[in-house]
Amino acid sequence: MSLQDKKALVTGGSRGIGAAIAKRLAADGAAVAITYAGNKAAADATVAAIESAGGTAFAFQANAGDPSSQRGGIEQAAAALGGIDILVHNAGVAEFSPVADDTDETYDRQFAVNVKGLHVGTRAALPHLRDGGRIILIGSISGEMAFPATTVYSATKAAVAALARGWAKDLAARNILVNTVQPGPIDTDMNPADSEFAGQVLGAIPLGRYGKVEEIAGAVAFLAGPDASYITGTTLNIDGGATA
Ligand code: NDP
């Protein structure tokens, strides 16, 4: 119970990696609030799973790509939790196309959720975030290596790592530690392990398999916990060796 008495907010906690992070932080003792875009049933299922295991959880609808909605969700979560110790920016979207097929709309949507949503959300959370707190951003190995037809998404994730490096310096005086977890291919609705795309990328993963959501959640729990007290401004790749 390394996170006993801590209060954690996980954006996009209704499904996939975010749901696994919310469950893991709760299992480690934190009270958890999640936000979600529109899938209330999945959000309720995450909350129910945490509560049935004896934990405390809340869910709020908040579109990370809409600044006022994102601010509203953060405020509601901070009020329900009674402050924030751990902020995990996990909500993200991917719209893959080669550059000739990219559009202004696909560019704007991905940057709105994956980058501006984090900037808006962190500014909204800061008045509620305790000194000594943690901010963990979910980037991607796409932020530092290229895959075909994913350039805009990759650019958003490169920006995510840059946000963490800058915030680590801005917030060091308050001992708020800021790091980026960069997953490789993880089996979720966004990137199913049985897809044609998966067949193309498996060969580039030395461990020869997709990752599991729990393998990302474990790394987030480490960065949120007491053993990570001297780690800030870094990126942690969890990718079966893909970037080795
Ligand atoms: P999923 O598509 O499986 O789940 C996305 C989650 O984010 C859902 O809870 C969804 O809510 C929420 N969400 C999506 N858009 C918004 C929004 N505008 N506002 C608020 N919440 C939103 O994705 P993954 O779990 O696979 O991905 C999670 C993160 O990990 C993302 O940042 C992604 O880029 C990153 N990542 C994923 C990898 C992978 O291979 N899966 C690899 C590298 C990085 P709802 O249920 O309501 O739709």
Ligand 1 touching residue 220 (CB < 6 A): no
**SS3 label, residue 243:** coil
pLDDT cut 90: percent of the chain above it: 98
159-212 pLDDT, tens per residue?
Answer: 999 999 999 999 999 999 999 999 999 999 999 999 998 998 999 999 999 999
Domain boundaries, the chain: 7-234
What value does the mean pLDDT take over residues 19-42? 98
CA 208 to ligand 1 centroid distance, Å: 23
Q: Which atom of ligand 1 is nearest to the CA of 153?
A: 34
Domain at 7-234, CATH class: alpha beta
**pLDDT given for residue 147 in this prediction:** 87
Instruction: Please list, in sequence order, all residues whose beta carbon lies within 8 angstroms of the beta carbon of residue 84, skipping any fewer than 6 positions away.
Output: 7, 8, 9, 77, 78, 125, 128, 129, 130, 133
Q: Which atom of ligand 1 is nearest to the CA of 186?
A: 40
**pLDDT given for residue 148 in this prediction:** 86
Ligand 1 touching residue 180 (CB < 6 A): no
pLDDT band of residue 111 (cuts 50, 70, 90) is: very high
What value does the mean pLDDT take over residues 24-46? 98
- The answer to whether residue 46 scores a pLDDT higher than 90 is yes
What value does the mean pLDDT take over residues 5-31? 98
**pLDDT given for residue 78 in this prediction:** 98
153 is catalytic: yes
Question: Which of 64-73, 142-151, 196-205 is modeled with the greatest confidence?
Answer: 64-73
- The answer to whether residue 12 scores a pLDDT higher than 90 is yes
Report the sign of the C-alpha dihedral through residues 175, 47, 239, 65, in that order.
negative
- The answer to whether residue 242 scores a pLDDT higher than 90 is yes
d(CA 133, CA 137): 13
d(CA 56, CA 42): 17
What value does the mean pLDDT take over residues 11-37? 98
Summary mean pLDDT of the chain:
98
**pLDDT given for residue 169 in this prediction:** 98
Ligand 1 touching residue 140 (CB < 6 A): yes
Ligand 1 touching residue 237 (CB < 6 A): no
What value does the mean pLDDT take over residues 57-69? 98
